[in-house]
Amino acid sequence: MTIFIITHSQDNESIPLVMQAIADQGGKAFRFDTDRFPTEIQLDVYYGKTERVTLSVDDQTLDLNEVSAVWYRRIAIGSRIPDSMDRQLRQASLKESRVTIEGMIASIQGFHLDPLPNIRRAENKQLQLQIARKIGLDTPRTLTTNNPLAVKQFAQECHQGIITKMLSSFAIYDEQGREKVVFTNPISSEDLENLDGLRFCPMTFQEKIPKALELRTTIVGKRVLTAAVDSQALNKARYDWRKQGIALLDAWEAYTLPEDVEEKLLKLMAEFRLNYGAIDIILTPDNRYVFLEVNPVGEFFWLERHPQLAISKAIAEVLQNK
């Protein structure tokens, strides 16, 4: 049987790490780079007297009826369809390609880490906060609005200041296609006097939480693997450690959460019916564990530098044992 890995050709080292772990455990993996469909990869879905679903990639052909488990990582269906195509025809090609692949994924009978509908529901960060609060996790005061007056009132309530973050887009792109990451940023008094742009786009604001450590908890099945970093050691990382992500690579250490916090996080995963999630938490100077969000397909590769954080091995075990 085969583990089917859904990603794209520009994905990071997470893919080879998990593929190697699967091989080390005696399994077999098949990588599907979705950006190569439909221009370079062929799919046959046949329903007649028999049923046949085959995917042909270069010199390899996979019978999807032989797939025992699916790992959904990333998706970029149709991104290599030429931009020179007629705009309407290209949009139609993209839509048909996406519907075709999404249908193929949904029809695979094996175990899914995780099913697409579960992932899409769990990506709703407003719902995340609502469920986290219900479970008893500590969460920051949060406001999502397009109302400048509401933002000013919220700022008055949050005596330690407020920050702003995105609910959806991780990055925007300039005309040359260069990525510009949208980080978490503090809101100044000057910003509060320039909120007219909210009429074009709502924003999310949170109270500024003091940080002793920032934690990244990766849950795989029932395993809870937590790492900690002192983001306050670098000035540019104080509000968002990703701004100094490379400089902090060797600063991450394995960390053990209190048992009650781990139990609540596992309840959160169960509510969303997720087997995998990367969770961001702040440990405050007075020992509060403040839940920020869970990313149902979050990154983990840099944490593998620490021997106690063998996340790829845990993913491989769940994919094979399920």
Q: Work out the average pLDDT over 97-126.
A: 95
Rounded-to-integer distance, Cα 123 and Cα 134, Å: 17
For 120-178, what is each residue's pLDDT tens digit? 999 999 999 999 999 999 999 999 999 999 999 999 999 999 999 888 866 666 666 66
- Residue 204 in tokens: 């999310």
Q: Work out the average pLDDT over 44-73.
A: 95
User: Which residue, among 220, 213, 234, has the nearest Cα to 292 in the 3D structure?
Assistant: 213
Show me where the domains of the chain are located. Answer: 2-113, 141-207, 210-307
Pick the CATH number of 141-207 from 2.130.10, 3.30.1490, 3.90.1340, 3.40.1350: 3.30.1490
Strands 162-165 and 2-7: unpaired
Task: Say if domain 2-113 classifies as CATH 3.40.50.
Answer: yes
- Structural fold of domain 210-307: D-amino Acid Aminotransferase; Chain A, domain 1 (3.30.470)
pTM for this prediction:
0.92
> CA triplet 60, 62, 65: central angle to 5 degrees?
170
pLDDT of 184: 86
Strands 203-207 and 185-186: unpaired
For residue 48, count CB atoms less than 10 angstroms from its CB and return exposed for 0-12, middle for 13-18, buried for 19 or more: exposed
Rounded-to-integer distance, Cα 60 and Cα 36, Å: 14
For 4-51, what is each residue's pLDDT tens digit? 999 999 999 999 999 999 999 999 999 999 999 999 999 999 999 999
Q: Work out the average pLDDT over 192-216.
A: 94
